[in-house]
Amino acid sequence: MPAPRINMRKIKDVLRLKLDARLSHEQIATSLGISKGAVSKYVGKAAAAGLDWATIQPMSETALERYVVHGRLDRPTHYVLPDYGRIHQELRRKGMTLMLLWEEYVGAHPEQPTYRYSQFCERYRRYAMCLKRSMRQIHRAGEKMFVDYAGPTVELADGGRAHIFVAALGASSYTYACATPRETMADWLQGCARALSFFGGVPQLIVPDNPKAMIANPNRYEPRANETVEDFARHYGTSVLPARPRHPQDKAKVESAVQVVERWILMRLRHQRLATVDDVNEAIEPLLERLNSKAFQKLPGSRASAFADVDAPALQALPLQPWEWAAFKNVRVHIDHHVEIEGHRYSVPQDLVGLLLEARITTNAVELLHRGQRVASHQRSAHRGGFTTVVAHLPAAHRAHLQWTPERLVHWGESIGAATGRLVTRLIEAQRHPEHGYRACLGLLSLARRYGRERLEAASVIALELGTAKYVHVKAILVNERDKVAASTAPSWTSPPHEHVRGPGYYQ
């Protein structure tokens, strides 16, 4: 088992007792409880470095360690120092590597001594360790947008509160903030939509925490957003990946942005009395521009310049149409091939009767989806108990029934004959509502297929003379063939002269 390492405090005591107190190696070893070999080792290294006690006494333990442990001097370097602040920002670009940056560093100083690749990387790692913890993560350009709500709220004149939504891009820390009435799902998604419009593009991922308004299942390993959030992500061509529950370091970028917004924006609004949420947004806008233009403390440039150089070129384009709020609901198709949504019924193709569909409900429209495919679309109606029906969704027999009108039936009857047309008109007019006579008319007109058009016309003449307009009477005339008898009967009978007939002269 190796001997425990001697700490620097004891090594400094060895040198003090030797160089200042002038004790022997044996006395020093006995006094400090170490071997004479260890005393000899460190005294020899101090002598090789040319150190005396006057030089060693004010020296820190770290500086002394370089001489007597590592055996090297802290000599000034003549190498060209890389701009590690710029290198740290360049590494956020997608596909950027330290090897490429080192080659550019060497190529930029061909006549001057430069560090080898291993020293270049080692010195950059030391630089990165000096930055804040939140800056150690390497965020790729255009990859992530972190979102969250600030803890403090803004008091309104009516006693209400405006909640402050904050979004920040990972690579540039470019920040957006706006006020919303509450923190519902609609407020979250409206804030995200405004942020994307402000940035002028769409990142690959949107990273919130785990708000109940957005995340249906905040599982650590397989989180699941609700349907409306997924619809939002599909519209913008991005994805929502919530941070792990109770792990704010997963979204440290926006945690820092929230702190900056609270200090640089909300504190400047604390003395203002604003009436509405829109007034708060108007007050935030100029302060937000100043915040993004403020220079970094340890890195070159500002959030605005870093965004223009790094994030902006890497963002995806915004969709042509703005996102519209949509709620989702599972509905089953009734036997009348309609689904019921908020008390109103909407038609779907009759082949889907009995199936479970997904309804996408927006402000102005209702879309019905079957296995992800849209099968029907209607304008949204607020009429409870009403129906919205597309004729193409109906069965063939139902479509044919809807096509019957009084005018069409009369026209059909007139095509058989004038008497049939008048009989159809009388059938329709005899009812309180025209549709009550549709079936009687269809039954009457169907007699032409069995008995012929000429016989139906003759039977219609007899029915009109008898003053009847019923289907059963016309059918009885045809069954009993009274139309044929009437057609063969001689002209009307005339009474012959008779002595019992007074004649017209009697009445003179």
Instruction: Find the CATH number of the domain harbouring 240.
Output: 3.30.420.10
Beta bridge partner(s), residue 206: 145, 240
Q: What percent of the chain has pLDDT over 70?
A: 84
| 498 assigned to some structural domain | no
**Res 132: pLDDT:** 56
- Are 162 and 292 within one domain? yes
Greater pLDDT, 95 or 426: 426
- Are 199 and 120 within one domain? no
Give the 3-state secondary structure of 269-288.
HCCCCECCHHHHHHHHHHHH
Q: Could you tell me the maximum CA-CA distance found in the chain, to the nearest angstrom?
A: 185
- Are 411 and 390 within one domain? no
The total number of structural domains that make up the chain: 5
- The token pair at 401 is 């029934």
170-187 tens-digit pLDDT: 888 899 999 999 988 888
Cβ neighbours of residue 484 closer than 8 Å, sequence gap 6 or more: 455, 458
- Are 392 and 423 within one domain? no
Which of 396, 416, 445 delimits the end of a domain? 396
| 13 assigned to some structural domain | yes
- Are 90 and 111 within one domain? yes
What are the backbone angles phi and psi of residue 181, rounded to the nearest 5°? -65, -40
For residue 401, name the pLDDT band (cuts at 50, 70, 90): low
| 122 assigned to some structural domain | yes
Query: Residue 407: which H helix or E strand, with range?
Result: helix 406-416
- Are 228 and 298 within one domain? yes
Q: How far apart are CA 164 and CA 147, in angstroms?
A: 11
449-502 tens-digit pLDDT: 888 888 888 888 888 888 887 888 888 888 888 877 755 454 556 666 666 666
Which of the 8 DSSP states describes residue 202? B
| 409 assigned to some structural domain | yes
Q: How far apart are CA 327 and CA 305, in angstroms?
A: 39
- Are 232 and 333 within one domain? no
Average pLDDT, the chain: 81
What are the backbone angles phi and psi of residue 331, rounded to the nearest 5°? -135, 150
- Are 472 and 414 within one domain? yes
| 78 assigned to some structural domain | no
| 293 assigned to some structural domain | yes
- Are 150 and 117 within one domain? no
**How far from 318 is each of 172, 207, 303, 322, CA to CA, in Å?**
19, 18, 21, 9
Cβ neighbours of residue 13 closer than 8 Å, sequence gap 6 or more: 32
328-359 tens-digit pLDDT: 888 998 877 788 888 888 988 878 888 899 88
Which of 270, 285, 314 delimits the end of a domain? 314
- The token pair at 101 is 């940056």
Does 74 score more than 50 pLDDT?
A: no
Q: How far apart are CA 443 and CA 470, in angstroms?
A: 10
Which of 314, 338, 360 delimits the end of a domain? 314
| Residue pair 478/459 in contact by the 8 Å Cβ criterion | yes
- Are 219 and 293 within one domain? yes
**Res 177: pLDDT:** 93
| 366 assigned to some structural domain | yes
- Are 173 and 309 within one domain? yes
Question: Structural domain of residue 91, as residue ranges?
Answer: 84-130
- Are 297 and 267 within one domain? yes
- C-alpha torsion sign, points 155, 160, 148, 233: negative
Query: Residue 109: which H helix or E strand, with range?
Result: none
Q: What is the dihedral of CA 64, 70, 74, 78, to 10 degrees?
A: -170
Query: What's the pTM?
Result: 0.52
| 212 assigned to some structural domain | yes
